[in-house]
Each structure stands twice: as structure tokens, then as C-alpha cells.
Amino acid sequence: MISLEDGQRRILDTVTPLPAAEVRLRDARGFVLAADVVSPEVVPPFANTAMDGYAVRAADTRGATADHPVQLRVVGELPAGTAPSVAVGAGEAIRIMTGAPLPDGADAVVMVERTTADRDDVSILAEAQSGDHIRPAGGDLQAGQRVFERGTLLTPAHLGVLASIDLPSVVAHPRPRVGVMSTGDELVEHGALAPGKIRDSNRPMLLAVVEEAGCAAVDYGIVRDDEALLTATITKAVDECDAVLTSGAVSMGDYDYVKVVLDRLAHERPDSSFQWMQVAIKPAKPLAFAALEGVPVFGLPGNPVSSRVSFELFARPALRRLMGRIDVLPEAIRAVAGSAMPRRRDGKVYLDRVVVRVESGRYVCERAGFQASNVLSGMAAANALAVLPDGEGVAAGEPVDVLLLT
């Protein structure tokens, strides 16, 4: 057996980001930047008010209170989107709306709630300090400032920032197309079950988790235990997609054809490789992996929990690498065991399905249901995987590393 870290390294060493292309900003959510973004201008471009109120000289409001207001003469009104045409002089104020440029002479804004006004004058009910409620020019971004680094995953907020510096497009890595298939004569899509048949739960789960990971999922259905059919389906998926996931048929059985097919395809195609690994983890020990002319193909275990755990530990990091992300490997956080999580020594790292919650400012985790690799309901109840090194497990109250799933 090999270690978890060794298995991850072997896979990531074969994966490179997809070629970058120019992407319209409107379409760029979920893409990953292929180059740093530098601001060509300051944001905001001018000093402006953060409040509706009155632009004033702070010195003119000294001593103002609700009982002893200071009266100023209103010399203009300034809505957002309008350039100032009148300066604020001694004893004067300008009515100003949120986002409007600060007029010359003013150094503070008094919010409208701290004023009373008639048509020509305003009473200031609280003393202002210089800079009150003013957003300075360049307070968000400076010209020449690096806004986002290469490898940044673009969220809606990122797109807003890019729009604020007038970037209609970005250079980014595309979303990978990921083919997903289940294998096995025992699988059915839906409906009544004949003796020996079970419903295919892996493929719907993997299609969903691929999309959740920010990729485009392509469904190749259920493939029977037929070597020729499996070869044709995997070949089609490799030719059409950027990565492929299969589940089942990767262990030591007579009908476990996935590793046989991947091994043969790797020998037939140039610049390709195949590895069948026994990883020292539980669940998800067996893993078949091929890099077929640059397309990573994962033969995930058939047990549904093993399939999901294997995806999180091996496939998701590779997909992140394809997307151009820098943060590819899952990072553990430290939690406290809410109850004992015993295990036995066997040379493996256990990945228990757990529920993590926050109690008194710290993460606390407990096992989520039965831990057998075929019990998918426990996986559904979990929001994290507890990483239990080889040993006797952890007692209640002891620290434990967890990998968050959500």
C-alpha cells in the first residue's frame, strides 16, 4: 500500500491546467484567473459621500448639539452622478446624496438624521469631524495595484470589482468538462428491482459533486460489465472531456474491467500512463488512475461512500488543478471530538464521516451514522471527514483534524 500523500502526489504530478482563454466578464463566474489583474485606475475615482446629508466644513460645526444646533446656509444640492459646481464656504452647506462627489471646500458630511432644515438653512445637531462619512478617492483600489492573483476563483464579488475597473473580459482557465459513468451489471437507473439488482446511486452523486466543484458534468450512463463496451465508452468520454470519472470495477474481481481497460488504453496512446493503487486509507483503498494524452481518468471504488471519499481526496484536487486553482489539496481544520471515535491499528488512515458544529467558539465533531462504506445515508448526514491516523482513535475532548465537505 501507498500513503494518501503519495497517491495524491502521483496524480497531481500528471495534471496541468487547461489552456487559458479570454472570457467575457458576464460569463466568468466560477472561472479561475490565468494571470494577475492590475487596476488601471483608482477606485473610487473621486472622493464621495457615504451618506445622504450635508457637505460642510467641520470647523463650522464646532460645539453643535441637539440642544444648541449650529445653523448653516444651504447654497446648493448635489445628487449622485452630478459634478459639483459650487464650493462650500464659511458658514455654508450643500445638500448631498449618497455617492455624489464631495464639493470643494467641504471636509465632512453630516448625515441627514443629525440635521433639521428649511428651504434655505440647515441646523446641525451634532459636531462633525474632518473626514466624517467621506469615501476618499482610491480608498478601494489604487492605480497599478494588484487586484487579484493568478489562480483566484472568480465569485460574484470578484466580478463586481473587475467591472469597477472597466475590465469587460479576463484571461481565465475554462471549466473542465468531466465525464461520469457507473459500471456494473447489477445497476439499474430506477424502478422495481429484480433479484440481485441495485439502483445506481454513485452516478447521480458524482454528477452533482462535479457540478458543485465548478465543472461541467457530462453523463455517460451505466456501463455493463463488458470489456468492449467499457473500452468504447471510456474512449468516447476521453475524446470529448477534460477528465473522466468511473465508479466500480477497480478491485480484484473477475469482472473488474476498469483497470484492465485503462491499462490497455494507456499502452495504446502516446504520452499516457496508468497506475493501480492500494492507498492506505479507509474507506476508498483501491484506486485506478490513468492519464490518457493529458486527460485524467479516475477509476473510483464502487461502494458509494468510498466513491465519494475517493473523489474528495484524489479527483477534486486534480479538477482544481485543471481549473488553474492554486489551492488544490484539501486543508484540514482542527476540531475537538464531541465523543470518542475509537478505531483499530491496521496501518491505514481512517476517514470517518462526521458532523462538525461550532460550540463556544470552537469546532466540535461527532460521527454521522454508521461508518460502513456502503452506508450512503451516513455520508449524506456528514459535513466533514475526520482524519484519524493509524492508532487507537481519539477520546472525547481530544483534538482531531477534519476536512470540511461544505
Query: Quick check: helix, strand or coil at residue 323?
Result: helix
Buried b (16+ CB within 10 A) or exposed e, 202-224: bbebbbebbeebbbebbebebbe
Residues 6+ apart with CB under 8 A from 370: 377, 378
Q: What is the DSSP letter of 119?
A: S
Q: At which residue does the C-alpha cell 461512500 appear?
A: 305
The candidate with the shortest Cα–Cα distance to 216, out of 323, 101, 69, is 323
CA–CA gap between residue 299 and residue 329 (Å, rounded):
19
Peptide linkage before 40 cis (omega within 30 of 0): no
CA–CA gap between residue 68 and residue 278 (Å, rounded):
81
Half-sphere exposure of 160 (CA within 13 A, CB side): 4
Helices 258-268 and 227-240 pack at an angle, to 10 degrees, of 60
CA 168-45-86 angle, to 5 degrees, is 135
Neighbours of 135 (CB within 10 A): 18
Cβ(133)–Cβ(51) below 8 Å: yes
- In order along its 406 residues, the chain shows pLDDT tens digits of 999 999 999 999 999 999 999 999 999 999 999 999 999 999 999 999 999 999 999 999 999 999 999 999 999 999 999 999 999 999 999 999 999 999 999 999 999 999 999 889 999 999 999 999 999 999 999 999 999 999 999 999 999 999 999 999 999 999 999 999 999 999 999 999 999 999 999 999 999 999 999 999 999 999 999 999 999 999 999 999 999 999 987 876 666 899 999 999 999 999 999 999 999 999 999 999 999 999 999 999 999 999 999 999 999 999 999 999 999 999 999 999 999 999 999 999 999 999 999 999 999 999 998 998 889 999 999 999 999 999 999 999 999 999 999 7
Query: Quick check: helix, strand or coil at residue 205?
Result: helix
**Three cell numbers written together for 226:** 463488458
CA 277-279-285 angle, to 5 degrees, is 95
Alpha-carbon torsion (46, 51, 52, 55), positive or negative: negative
The candidate with the shortest Cα–Cα distance to 30, out of 174, 135, 161, is 174
CA–CA gap between residue 157 and residue 163 (Å, rounded):
10
